[in-house]
Structure 1
């Protein structure tokens, strides 16, 4: 799907144990050349994984996912010791829900922590609560991107799945249509990339993103803006 649409790709690797995470990453490192995100609900799993790969050639491809409000000094030390330079920063907390609060949280607490850990390449995720809150997330992405210049993203998939199950809207057609609408809205508000859920969703996630991206790229010509890459979705997919 990446080759078809012209969209770059990375893989968010999720595991609940260190052994599983290491196995998944080693397999994907051998089978692909794309960036790999180290993602686990357990900070211990993430830290132990970094220690395992410290100093290896794979380190440059690893993205820590994620550094959030609950970070510890041990976590920052593990990232620094492993030489990891890439991370997703989750600019979200129960007390930072509106766009201005998310920007303040990122600038005042999370960005300094990331710099302490030696992170150089930062992706900012303002977080998504539910379908309705995607509007606030989009506004937060615009605000953070404008103020800091860092690329922004979010993961609307969980909110979409929770909504469709609660409403009994489980057909593939509904999922694809709803996701397409969500993706288009986020992209129009500056989302640089989107976490779309299980990799099986690529069959509709890539066309949805590529179509919206192509439309935005063409519209940008009115302002004299041209793509930085030679073969964007506008050329490859449309």
Structure 2
């Protein structure tokens, strides 16, 4: 298996406009740190994942672009991968890149999802672009937050997965999803005291940014932007 180290692009998430033909590349598995393992809240190191070419051969020298999501929110940095050899059909590359939690605004202790996703505008199949894994984020004293407020909200393969623990969740709660134009595209009522779980199917919605909101007893419990 080939190995490639990603370089980081600060300040902006980028989308590749350079490919003249359709490609089909996706992140297929999170490798390191081991999914399900502990990570410090001030993590500043390297994460690794498998990148697979499902489409035509991509020649040496071409560039791929990727993004990272922490707990469903896109990181304010993107990654560029310049190929040093041909990336042929069915090749799998073990890819590594730097991750610095200090650049993220939503890092809290508890069970959180981290996803990597390819971001080429000429990608012909967007359903195989991303892979996610859950990690136990530890607070500064090395203890995971197991009580109080926790939320895991992420969108993968068109499905918005929601798992929220909050003492203010009482009885009937309302889950809502809006697009960036403010149009309500999904709402559902769900019952639970202190904890709710749900999966919302957005596979038929267009790609873009969506806003998820959770209200319980008239109180806003959670509001989060996610990108499809």
Greater strand fraction, Structure 1 or Structure 2: 2
TM-score by length of structure 1 reads 0.23
Greater helix fraction, Structure 1 or Structure 2: 1
TM-score by length of structure 2 reads 0.24
